Structure 1
Amino acid sequence: MPNSILDPLDYEIVRELQEDGRRAFREVARNLSVPEATVRTRVKRLQDQGILQILAFTNPSKLGQAKLALFFVSVAPQDHDRVVDTLGRWSEVSYLSTTLGSADVCVQVLCRDDESLWALQQKVRSLPGVEEVRVMQEVKVHKIRFTIPTVQSTEE
């Protein structure tokens, strides 16, 4: 099986953990009618391949004065990889993606207040190769979830 291809059992294991990332492997195994060792081995493989990461999300609206924002960054083509690498190492960055459209990079940041958000915007603008930064402050997050796509059955 190629490293990045999931089989139906992998999908089901991931779905179980998306419902509750703290769910015991024993419970996942019971729900899927497979041995616990199978679940443990597959989760480790998915983690090692970078397909699965289990983590805790915070609700930014419950953090007092915290500011959540999206930066849409236009970058000179020759500087793209370096800018992405730099932004990916910043603790304020919670999400980072290369995009198509009016910006080259989308960056979600979480800052403690307006002043730190302003300072971070200026820091991004000063990176060599950054041509433009547009900022959109997020007022309230209504949903954040990366749900694994449904597998189409080959028997249909």
Structure 2
Amino acid sequence: MQTSTLDPLDFQIVRELQEDGRRAFREIARNVDVPEATVRTRVKRLQELGILQILAFTNPSKLGHAKLALLFVEVDPQDHDRAVDNLGRWSEVSYLSTILGGADLCVQVLCRDDEGLFALQQRIRALPGVRTVRTMHEVKVHKIRFTIPPVEPEE
């Protein structure tokens, strides 16, 4: 299902949940002026389609001794999918995307300490097809949020 097939009610429900992922369906229903059962059905459908996932974010700087880093990985084209599959299974990987530019993959990781970060970087370098890994230690996260872009006014 493409986002273009989502109707305005789907977007309203998602926005409500983006404000507070623990918001009760009853409250969402009141806010968007539909029955609670409609909200429940829509949320279930959006989850089943992989459009919506409700989860908790942690603040790495509040976890104590934790190292948050971005790794930019260059990988041979024929090994791209295998690298994505491997990295996607690693518990230290919190974000993984294919990018354009100076690297092929952007990998955000959370490790216990510098030694753990170094070991993880070495594991990535050992993956088949990996040419280079550039690491940037994230000192402080100022914002992390994926939201639906504002709706264009209808003419």
**Aligned residue number for residue 153 of structure 2:** 153
1:131-150 per-position Cα deviation (integer Å, ceiling 9, x unaligned)? 00000000000000001112
What is the alpha-carbon distance in structure 1 between the residues aligned to residue 6 and residue 79 of structure 2?
Answer: 34
Normalising to structure 1: TM-score of the pair? 0.96
| Identity within the alignment, % | 79
What is the alpha-carbon distance in structure 1 between the residues aligned to residue 90 and residue 149 of structure 2?
Answer: 30
What is the alpha-carbon distance in structure 2 between the residues aligned to residue 62 and residue 6 of structure 1?
Answer: 37
**Aligned residue number for residue 71 of structure 2:** 71
SS at match of 2:142: coil
Which structure 2 residues correspond to residues 107-118 of structure 1 after superposition, within 5 A? Answer: 107-118=107-118
Root-mean-square deviation (CA, aligned residues, Å) is 0.7
What is the alpha-carbon distance in structure 2 between the residues aligned to residue 7 and residue 150 of structure 1?
Answer: 14
What is the alpha-carbon distance in structure 2 between the residues aligned to residue 149 and residue 38 of structure 1?
Answer: 23
Q: How many residues align?
A: 153
Indicate yes or no: 2:88 matched with 1:82. no
Normalising to structure 2: TM-score of the pair? 0.97
Judge conservation of contact 1:8–1:151 (CA < 8 Å) in 2.
Answer: no
**Aligned residue number for residue 41 of structure 1:** 41
What is the alpha-carbon distance in structure 2 between the residues aligned to residue 42 and residue 130 of structure 1?
Answer: 41
What is the alpha-carbon distance in structure 1 between the residues aligned to residue 60 and residue 138 of structure 2?
Answer: 10
| Amino acid in structure 2 at the alignment position of 1:127 | L
